[in-house]
Structure 1
Amino acid sequence: MIGKAEFFESLQAAIKENKITLPTLPEVALKVRDAVEQENVSAQEIADMVVTDAALSARLLQVANSPLYRGRVPIESIQMAVTRLGYKLVRSLVVTLAMQQMFQATSDALDTRLRDMWEQSVEIAAICRVLAQNLPHLDREQAMLAGLIHNIGALPVLTWAESFPELMEDEASLDQMVTELTAEVGTQILKFWGFPETLVKVAAEAQNLNYDSGPQADYVDVVIVSRLQAAPADSAGGMAEWINVPAFQKVGLDPEVELIEIEGVAEDIESVQDAFR
């Protein structure tokens, strides 16, 4: 059985030699992301970028008309979506929908695992969005995106693992390999994508329960709490040990409280899950 160090070294070599490529955002997502940062960009210009990708456009309209975002009047065009939802939200949604496509397996061996991983990421993202609503200095859509990208490093790890049949057959060893390498590879991917440091830190620190960057919660704290809230009660030491996790105090959530039991939270989480299934 290949060890962690040898596997990681071979993965990095494979990336360098183009035997495996890091996940990439489609050109339309990159264009929209960059355009939103420009002062004089118009809704029509952003819409024109989005409509160049028919599949992405269709999904964006579907999400825009979901219970999560819809208003009284249905959104019937991409320009209407951009105008109604706002540039920054459309940017987040375009990146999110582009990411969803990355979790589609190219082999039967990974299909179930990647689908489960996407569903788990969406659940964590939904919890992130709920938590951020009570943290005025954080953007709830950015928090949702943080939840979605926190384990992006698992994708190339799993893809490369297919080169080692004995590893693919040993589920426990594969899970351990993914857990131990996701942060480092994820950090590499988000830097490659040009993501802001606030989100790069999410990939690097999401599994670090001792993370404490200061008195104010950041997106890492939100993801840490969301991961624990989404996890089975007997994992990560269980709720009894959550009291020792700094992130809970910073996001303002009692470690002994299950977020989903708070009135209205379950519905909010379900709305996000329905939108991105």
Structure 2
Amino acid sequence: MLAGIRNLPPVPFIMVEISKLLDNPRTGAADLGKIISKDQAMVAKILSVANSPLYGLPRRVSTIEFAIVILGFDQIKNIVIAFSMMEAFRTKEDRRWNRRSYWVHSLMVASAAKRIADDLGIRKSGEAFTAGLLHDLGISVIQKYFNDDFQKINNLVEQQQMRFINAEEKILGISHQEIGKYLIEKWNLPSALGEAILYHHQPSLAEEEKKLAAVVHLADYMTQRFQIGGFNWDESIDLDLGVIEILQLGDESYLESLIESYHELFKVNLESLNL
């Protein structure tokens, strides 16, 4: 079904150019900044994220060159990949699709996943941001390329009080997580991202990237728990308690205190996002 979509967007030019630059050991911050600066919307997004409280940088970042120095090449690459994919699969708003709500949710989960990964000492915090931003990309694909099915899914949810994830599988035979993983493979991005996206509702089922899936799951759950940056397709999301063992959090009591410790930060972060 997905392979039959003839007009799936190609890999964006900026991603190709950045990959080429990073393959060259002589590339400096100015070289990378020059490429990214060709897309001022991308520059604005990177600076907005870098300066958000959840991202956790100790000082304000005002230029893309400084952002590259502070964040490092790998972090910048992860951010550009994530934003490029989000933009490539951008959809039109309609009665049942609040594009702004989807963007805010994706940004909140991305920033929170990175912060949680950093706080817990998980090395792949940059990939946590990317996976967080792209975790629901499959939903926008359903809305854009399978809109009739998108409407049927919404009808099922409204008429039978069915969860979105169950309605997706009933109508399409696959979930938005599986679609997201397919897109990661289609664009030849790291398999770790695909697995984290595939299991972001149930990280306990992940085989290789349990930690990455777990931090995205926690961030996703927090948006619903706090009702800050939430998205309607995630309503009634269940917390996978397997994150306790995966992230070595001790017990449910400690997990609860950890979750609550982010509540105020979520509030401040939502106010700071410049969309």
Q: Are 2:244 and 2:252, in contact at CA under 8 Å, matched by a contact in 1?
A: yes
Name 2:41's counterpart in structure 1. Answer: 55
1:106, 1:194 → 2: CA distance? 26
**Offset at residue 201 of structure 1 (A):** 0.8
Residue pairs, 1:99-248, within 5 angstroms: 99-102=85-88, 104-109=90-95, 111-112=97-98, 114-163=99-148, 167=152, 170=155, 172=157, 175=164, 176-178=166-168, 180-211=174-205, 213=207, 217-232=210-225, 235-237=236-238, 242=240, 245-248=241-244
Name 1:4's counterpart in structure 2. Answer: none
Identity %: 19
Unaligned runs of 5+ in 1: 1-8
1:255 correspondence with 2:249: no
Q: Are 2:142 and 2:150, in contact at CA under 8 Å, matched by a contact in 1?
A: no
Larger Rg computed on CA atoms: 1
**Offset at residue 191 of structure 1 (A):** 1.0
Please report the TM-score for the alignment, with normalisation by the length of structure 2: 0.74
Q: Are 1:229 and 1:259, in contact at CA under 8 Å, matched by a contact in 2?
A: no
Q: Are 2:21 and 2:32, in contact at CA under 8 Å, matched by a contact in 1?
A: yes
Unaligned runs of 5+ in 2: 227-234
Secondary structure, aligned partner of 2:218:
helix
Q: Are 1:183 and 1:205, in contact at CA under 8 Å, matched by a contact in 2?
A: yes
For the structure 1 residues 160 and 43, does the alpha-carbon distance in structure 2 shift closer, same or farther, using more than 3 Å as the test?
Answer: same
**Offset at residue 39 of structure 1 (A):** 2.5
Give the 4+ runs in structure 1 shifted more than 6 A: none
Secondary structure, aligned partner of 2:38:
coil
**Which stretch of the first structure deviates more once superposed, 25-34 or 163-172?**
163-172
**Offset at residue 269 of structure 1 (A):** 3.6
Q: Are 1:26 and 1:98, in contact at CA under 8 Å, matched by a contact in 2?
A: yes
For the structure 1 residues 104 and 63, does the alpha-carbon distance in structure 2 shift closer, same or farther, using more than 3 Å as the test?
Answer: same
Name 1:78's counterpart in structure 2. Answer: 64
One-letter identity of the residue aligned with 2:220: R
One-letter identity of the residue aligned with 1:207: H
**Offset at residue 189 of structure 1 (A):** 0.4
1:225, 1:66 → 2: CA distance? 19
Q: CA RMSD in A?
A: 3.4
For the structure 1 residues 69 and 31, does the alpha-carbon distance in structure 2 shift closer, same or farther, using more than 3 Å as the test?
Answer: farther
**Offset at residue 193 of structure 1 (A):** 1.8
Secondary structure, aligned partner of 1:146:
helix
One-letter identity of the residue aligned with 1:204: L
**Which stretch of the first structure deviates more once superposed, 150-159 or 56-65?**
56-65
**After superposition, what is the alpha-carbon deviation per residue over 1:214-251, rounded to whole angstroms, capped at 9, x for unaligned?**
7x9521122233333333499345x6xx4xx3222221
**Offset at residue 159 of structure 1 (A):** 1.4
**After superposition, what is the alpha-carbon deviation per residue over 1:140-161, rounded to whole angstroms, capped at 9, x for unaligned?**
2321221111222222212133
Please report the TM-score for the alignment, with normalisation by the length of structure 1: 0.73
One-letter identity of the residue aligned with 1:51: S
One-letter identity of the residue aligned with 2:106: S
Q: 1:28 aligns with which of 10, 14, 24?
A: 14
